[in-house]
Structure 1
Amino acid sequence: MNGRAKAPAAGTVLNALATGVGSAFAIDAYTTADVSLDDTGNVRGKIEGVPDADTRLIERCVEVVLESADEGSSADEPSSLGATVRTESDVPMASGLKSSSAAANATVLATLSALDTEMEREDACRLGVQAAREVGVTATGAFDDASASMLGGVTVTDNGRDELLARDEVSWDVLVWTPPEQAFSADADVSRCQRVAPIADLVADLALDGDYGRAMTVNGFAFCGALGFPTDPLLSALPDVDGVSLSGTGPSFVAVGGRGVLEAVQERWKSLEGTTWLTTTQTDGTRTI
């Protein structure tokens, strides 16, 4: 009764903090989850390489899947299943690259695999979002981030209703710059973000029209202002890239465009403290392995 799954990270097209509508795209960097079921009735989590990390999210993801399985069971008594869940990741934590959504998605699918149970991926995604809300690691519900990671490609969602408004498969080269500091999305100043709601509505319209590059760029300037991040990384990438934005609530920035263009921007971003890396979009989403 073991399961294993991997989920991609994601970058931002539209931050959902302003209006509840958000958009994100999956990138080729992963979090892997291993789940081993047992009869202890307890769930224990571990994040590789981070011994003091908060494991409540991945533990709650296992629990909500087990609870969902109990609800669908004809047994008179709830099961006494417990589990050990372990995650390891290429995605830096609290960097704006949806590490929590990736961890939740990987854990949910790994648990379903361990149970030998199938579920529509969109519904499985909602279980991870439920867990994230219950443990307080998200300010928006993060259905945009979670859906991009679970389904692959780029998604546009209404996080207030957990509704998928659009999904598109894209093939982009992606440049990421991640500063050394962390920024936890649950700590973001929502009231300041809500002040840019009219701009967020414009970004949503652009994204729903498939104009993702311009949507990203407008989002980047708006949310750098709302969240207090510098716009210099955006300006140093323009006008060459197709789109550039603050990712999530930061501190990472993401840019999309031609490989040669991104390599030139990478040279400029290398003068900034932190790490820069090139990757691509991912269209397969979360998968058992």
Structure 2
Amino acid sequence: MQGRATAPAAGTVLNALATGRGSAFAIDADTTASVTLDATDRGDADASEEPSVTGTVAGAPDADTALVERCVSLAVDRWGPAADLDPSTVAGEVRTESDVPMAAGLKSSSAAANATVLATASALGADPDPLDACRLGVQAARDAGVTVTGAFDDASASMLGGLTRTDNTADELLAHDDVDWDVLVWTPPERAYSADADVSRCERVAPMAALVDDLARDGDHGRAMTVNGLAFCAALDFPTDPIVDALPDATGASLSGTGPSYVAVFDADDGDGGDPVGRVEARWRDRDGDVWRTTTRSDGARIL
């Protein structure tokens, strides 16, 4: 049984670490998961040898694959019985390949989880509700210890496309909007892991996070991003200079997730006769790391 699916990365409007409320938007950079399942005849098998799930990441042989392995296991538990399979008899392999740098704040874990859950569902012949599949990946992320909040904001943006606003404490979708932005990303050489973020420092900027949530609720996503970025750079000890450098030209700019990447967005239909993206790109290219252009995505994760 085989399945394949893909899911986009995302950028941050509101980091959920301070209040549990979060907001994110899908960007045009994909992670693809390929899943193979094999049901064993347990009648002749050694009962002590449980079928296992193994994962690999293309180009990163030492990458931690606990998240995608857990996604396969949970998806088999959820949809295996409907395919007349005993989940305890199903072994699996999952391989991911991605345009998204890992541990860079661009929701690579959420994209990998969404793609893996959908690929496993496809292998089992299931057609899951997108939010149901998304919540399964969020549970896998919590089980694997790769997230503090569960990252339902990031996962929902990746799964549904567009921009989502969520209550991560209840895995509740509060709003889903379409946005049409050009996007610029700067990813420094260093990496940062969400699970290592200092939550207590983030909670100190809760009043600013509440303001960001109000701005996002009212549709002022650009200003929401910028306030979020300035507040969480301070809380997480990242420089604010990249945001300040983007502000003369960008609709909004922020630290993405818990860093280290920064994202700036530009209204696609708000041309000034020049090249605002190019001007910010030139400033950001003075720094070490990778700078790349992309766009928002209105479509989300999908089975291939």
Given that 1:148 and 1:285 are in contact with CA atoms closer than 8 Å, whether structure 2 keeps it comes out as yes
> Which protein is bigger by CA-based radius of gyration?
2
Q: C-alpha distance in 2, partners of 1:270/1:92?
A: 18
Q: What amino acid is the match of 1:23? A: S
The Cα of 1:82 is off from its aligned counterpart by 1.3
In structure 2, the CA distance between the partners of 1:116 and 1:70, relative to structure 1 (3 Å rule), is closer
Q: What amino acid is the match of 1:105? A: N
The Cα of 1:188 is off from its aligned counterpart by 0.1
Structure 1 residues 138-177: aligned runs within 5 Å: 138-177=147-186
Q: Which segments of 5 or more consecutive residues in structure 1 lack a partner in the other structure?
A: none
Q: C-alpha distance in 1, partners of 2:54/2:264?
A: 37
Aligned to 1:61: 71
Aligned to 1:275: 290
Q: C-alpha distance in 2, partners of 1:144/1:105?
A: 13
Residue 249 of structure 2 is aligned to residue 240 of structure 1: yes
Q: C-alpha distance in 2, partners of 1:236/1:195?
A: 25
Residue 90 of structure 2 is aligned to residue 81 of structure 1: yes
Q: C-alpha distance in 2, partners of 1:68/1:153?
A: 27
Residue 299 of structure 2 is aligned to residue 284 of structure 1: yes
Aligned to 2:7: 7
Q: C-alpha distance in 2, partners of 1:258/1:23?
A: 18
In structure 2, the CA distance between the partners of 1:133 and 1:71, relative to structure 1 (3 Å rule), is farther
Q: C-alpha distance in 2, partners of 1:78/1:274?
A: 44
Q: C-alpha distance in 2, partners of 1:265/1:150?
A: 29
Q: What amino acid is the match of 1:60? A: R
SS at match of 1:16: coil
Residue 55 of structure 2 is aligned to residue 45 of structure 1: yes
Q: Which segments of 5 or more consecutive residues in structure 2 lack a partner in the other structure?
A: 41-50, 269-274
Which string of whole-angstrom CA distances, capped at 9 and with x for unpartnered residues, describes residues 5-26 of structure 1? 1100000000000000000000
In structure 2, the CA distance between the partners of 1:134 and 1:271, relative to structure 1 (3 Å rule), is same
Q: What amino acid is the match of 2:162? A: G
Aligned to 2:260: 251
Q: C-alpha distance in 2, partners of 1:174/1:266?
A: 10
Residue 205 of structure 2 is aligned to residue 196 of structure 1: yes
Structure 1 residues 10-25: aligned runs within 5 Å: 10-25=10-25
The Cα of 1:239 is off from its aligned counterpart by 2.4
Given that 2:182 and 2:265 are in contact with CA atoms closer than 8 Å, whether structure 1 keeps it comes out as yes
Which of 94, 102, 115 lines up with 1:93 in the alignment? 102
Percent identity over the alignment? 67
The Cα of 1:73 is off from its aligned counterpart by 6.8
Given that 2:223 and 2:251 are in contact with CA atoms closer than 8 Å, whether structure 1 keeps it comes out as yes
Give runs of ≥4 in structure 1 deviating > 3 Å: 70-75
Q: C-alpha distance in 2, partners of 1:122/1:70?
A: 19
Which string of whole-angstrom CA distances, capped at 9 and with x for unpartnered residues, describes residues 59-105 of structure 1? 00000001112465777x54511111000000000000000000000
Aligned to 1:213: 222
In structure 2, the CA distance between the partners of 1:68 and 1:123, relative to structure 1 (3 Å rule), is same
Q: What amino acid is the match of 2:26? A: A
In structure 2, the CA distance between the partners of 1:84 and 1:134, relative to structure 1 (3 Å rule), is same
Q: C-alpha distance in 2, partners of 1:258/1:123?
A: 32
Q: C-alpha distance in 2, partners of 1:3/1:149?
A: 19
The Cα of 1:118 is off from its aligned counterpart by 1.1
Given that 2:249 and 2:279 are in contact with CA atoms closer than 8 Å, whether structure 1 keeps it comes out as no
SS at match of 2:298: coil
- Using the size of structure 1 for normalisation, the TM-score is 0.97
In structure 2, the CA distance between the partners of 1:258 and 1:70, relative to structure 1 (3 Å rule), is closer
Q: C-alpha distance in 2, partners of 1:63/1:287?
A: 20
Q: CA RMSD in A?
A: 1.3
Q: What amino acid is the match of 2:242? A: P
Given that 1:70 and 1:79 are in contact with CA atoms closer than 8 Å, whether structure 2 keeps it comes out as no
SS at match of 1:62: helix
- Using the size of structure 2 for normalisation, the TM-score is 0.92
Aligned to 2:43: none
